[in-house]
Structure 1
């Protein structure tokens, strides 16, 4: 690379590895269960709104995203000045950390969890502190014990990606009561719509240091649009918006998001979520009946701990036309359609799972 030098803090930074996509030229049916996408395309009204927006593609969108933030405010029942938006919740996680840390500050998160938390810390010159999961869930006691005077942010993925475990509000209240008020607790709720008794918004009044991050990619089925939002302290959200790249969400994505947040489309999304939750139960029961160890999930995926068998089982699934995600010592399998479930069950090899713990 010549004489250019990479910043020392980035040395060895692993790239983000997405779920596998079908290879170019693959023509057989693929069950795409590696990226936690919903199995349906956007509703017709959302597509129509995006098509209409294309006629104005020569214009910049409103950089403050006032209409979108107002729509999200109405959707979540919080004032719009407490909301920031970005091209995906991942960008928000990076910028929230950037607003809150100084060089050398600590960011605590669980592992295995969403891999980008480590990147968000390092990109902002903070020190990543990974706390191992306990029984596939966040070890809240250990995370509290990891807090030092240098800690500025704790991130909790709830439900957790990739294991699917979730904490109820009652359980999180006990944890939050033990966290210093000047330490931000980011609740990454990308999969909250698929869970029960999980809603970080209800914790914010008693705990102003809580920031909730959500997305339209999962339950609303807009993964290709990349629209995420955060709810938190108004001053923090103001700085998050300032730190973000100008015009970070394109006008077509804004139009799709606004259409998705209308009452009619939200109702349809909830119906789709309910069907995924039902299929999750069907898939879990079917896998367990075949002897597989499946972690109880509150998300739109299930996790099978496999240890050393992870890569070989994922490869056998791929050979059978089912794309799953090897991660965190197991495979994460998106809950798709009933046809996807049948395809997966047909592709899974002979039992190769670790015994239940």
Structure 2
């Protein structure tokens, strides 16, 4: 029998993404029978607001998922690895925002505008891709379907909110310190668990996540590997450079793509304008293009600065911007949950 309401758990409810998930569930009147807000033992006992009412945060344990239909995880990969399988054992569908299961061949890696059809009847765990990957593939999928893609070169300019609430506070504190002539404290970026930290205020840090043996960071390799999996094409050549910049919300990306077939710019504009979840803002004569400040708080992926490459007839350059906490995380997860409910 099809359910009309669902028991939902949000794991990591006190974090930046968890807060956005709660906001979206409320805003979109998700059909809730009950809502559990879960987090680590450090956050247990705190309250979060949902539809104007306080909800007490509980410690996330395996037993927390008894009777839960849908569990939305955004509490870090180590938590997901332990608790997501426990939630599935107890009958929940898990939508996981971490890197824990994305490259598992048995776990669907889903962007609703692209590949919702790969979710089976009993999905167990569904992985949410990396924020920077999501916005790029949403913009590129219509071009891939029409022309094919042989190569992608992407440079990202990523907001500090992608590193969590503490990184936001660090940016604000450092900015105040620099403007007041004080030495800024550096404790979070580029990676909190590493020994060396750098100032992000008035700076750009060319490291997001830890370095791998090949010289790329884990964030960069996420974009490479996840793009191939989502597109279902291991032959796309993808290379990425990921940079943290002093913006609070909204990742920006400079993307160069080589298509397999010749294209007309008018057709590219038409494809992007018709693509679900994409808004084109591109009027050079009026200086109109996507900005992180405009994308913040919005659900779409914004595309502009669309132009043919000067040296390659099938090369295309574009600028892609999206709110990393929304389409890059919470909104993508809630879209998947809504799809599960509807079917």
TM-score by length of 1: 0.31
Greater share of helix residues, 1 or 2? 1
TM-score by length of 2: 0.32
Larger relative contact order, structure 1 or 2 (CA cutoff 8 Å, min sep 6): 1
